[in-house]
Amino acid sequence: MSTHTDSPRCFIVPPYLLTHLAQLEDPRLAHAASAAQRALAAASQIRAVRRGEPAPPRQSMRGTDAVRRQASAPGRPERYISDAEGTEELPGRLVRSEGEPPTPDESVNEAYDGLGETYSLFWEAFSRNSIDGEGIPLAATVHFCEAYDNAFWDGTQMVFGDGDGQVFVGFTSSLSVIGHELTHGVTQYTANLVYSGQSGALNESVSDVFGALVEQHSRGQSADEASWLIGEGIFSAEVEGQALRSMKAPGTAYDDDVLGKDPQPADMSGYIETEDDYGGVHLNSGIPNRAFYLAATAIGGNAWDAPGQIWYETLTTEVKANADFREFAEATVVAASRLFGDDSREASAVRTAWQTVGVTA
């Protein structure tokens, strides 16, 4: 089993999007460009801790460290929300703990609720007690940095920025973002998919899959009713776009004069070879994302049931850390066959989904 020091810092907004914003020369968007530059600089500093190295010293949680080390009881989350107050100091000032009433700060309450909804999905659908399976408390920090255009999992906790207000708004408003980032923690404690190339794209895709399931589970939506959007609500009203990514139709999430067009490929014919962004982990994740969407809608019903069980079984028992798309696809078929039978509708839907996106023949 992996420890938190084995995980890279995983960001919801891809670096290619921030780089594009940072290079804007339109005076009207100077604030957004400056915010993107700060986000990239902060990301470089955060990423300075590499695989296998200890995380930097962390501030005290004002006497709560001893509490945070205690595992939560099965079925009951243990949440801690802190406020960085516009600084880059983590975890910041503790402002809400498990069981305490809502605060006047909506970001605090959204983070608290989002952590709870994510815990609920993994417990109710997969009997998983928190992200490590052993009841580890869930921690998050809001109001990180100044007008920070991102949210991330740092190997130990969630961190949320407030956005620049021109392009991005508060990241706690999207349940799929919270579920996505916390799932990086689940992956870290299970398959620990290497964050590079195809295994890195699978790492991102798994987070999108369960981020979408957190949102659907919370809303009681079937696979057919769901939007399959990741990051819906984090764009300002000025942006021509629905979300950061679409699992249903990769490459269609946004098409904006400022942001450009969503570059995600929908199948292997559009696979992008690049050395940027750890080998295109946020780009090529659209391919396995669409495979899950196709399987889930073909099976029907709630996507956290059979499709979610297959992907969860794959992540926790079948797949290796350096798996490529084909190996992951084959592992999902094995998991589907074991859970539902080799000739089942579920196994057939999974096989067809991977064939449709061009991963298997």
Q: Which structure tokens are listed for 167? A: 């392009």
Give the three-state DSSP class for 266.
coil
Closest CA to 38 of 156, 159, 164, 155: 164
> What's the Cα-to-Cα distance from 284 to each of 26, 188, 291, 321, 359, rounded to whole Å?
30, 20, 12, 17, 12
Q: Where in the chain is the domain with CATH 1.10.390.10?
A: 197-356
- Mean pLDDT for all residues in the chain: 91
Write down the CATH number for the domain with range 4-54+70-189: 3.10.170.10
Q: Which two tokens stand for residue 97?
A: 């703990």
Query: Residues 322-357: pLDDT tens digits?
Result: 999 999 999 999 999 999 999 999 999 999 999 999
Q: So which residues are the catalytic ones?
A: 181, 282
Question: How does pLDDT run across 280-306, given as a tens digit for each residue?
Answer: 999 999 999 999 999 999 999 999 999
The CA radius of gyration of the chain, in Å to the nearest whole number, is: 19
What pLDDT shows up at residue 43?
A: 74
Q: pTM for the complete prediction? A: 0.91
What dihedral angle (degrees, nearest 10) is formed by the CA atoms of 338, 339, 341, 347? -100
CA-to-CA separations, 322 to 124, 216, 289, in angstroms, rounded: 29, 29, 18
CA distances from 166 to 43, 162, 163, 233, 253 (A): 20, 11, 8, 13, 18
Of 254, 272, 252, whose CA–CA distance to 201 is shortest? 272
Residue 142: CB atoms within 10 Å: 29
Cα–Cα distance list, 98 to 72, 80, 120, 137, 138 (Å):
10, 6, 14, 10, 10
Class of domain 197-356: mainly alpha
Q: Among the residues of the chain, which ranges form H helices?
A: 15-22, 30-46, 65-68, 106-126, 175-189, 197-219, 277-280, 286-299, 306-313, 325-340, 345-356
- Structure-block tokens of residue 91: 């975890």
Residue type, 91: P
pLDDT digits (tens, 9 = 90+) for 129-187: 999 999 999 999 999 999 999 999 999 999 999 999 999 998 999 999 999 999 999 99
- Using the 8-state DSSP alphabet, how is residue 235 labeled? B
DSSP 8-state class, residue 71: P
Compute the distance between CA of residue 353 and CA of residue 357 in angstroms, rounded to an integer.
7
Q: Could you tell me which of 166, 145, 2, 40 has the C-alpha nearest to residue 84?
A: 145
78-101 pLDDT, tens digit each = 999 999 999 999 999 999 999 999
pLDDT score of 360 more than 70:
yes
Q: What is the pLDDT of residue 182?
A: 97
Contact 184, 191 (CB under 8 A): no
Please report which confidence band the pLDDT of residue 73 belongs to, taking 50, 70 and 90 as the band edges: confident
Helix, strand and coil percent figures for the chain, each rounded to 5: 45, 10, 45
With beta carbons less than 8 A apart as the criterion, state whether 310 and 328 touch.
Answer: no
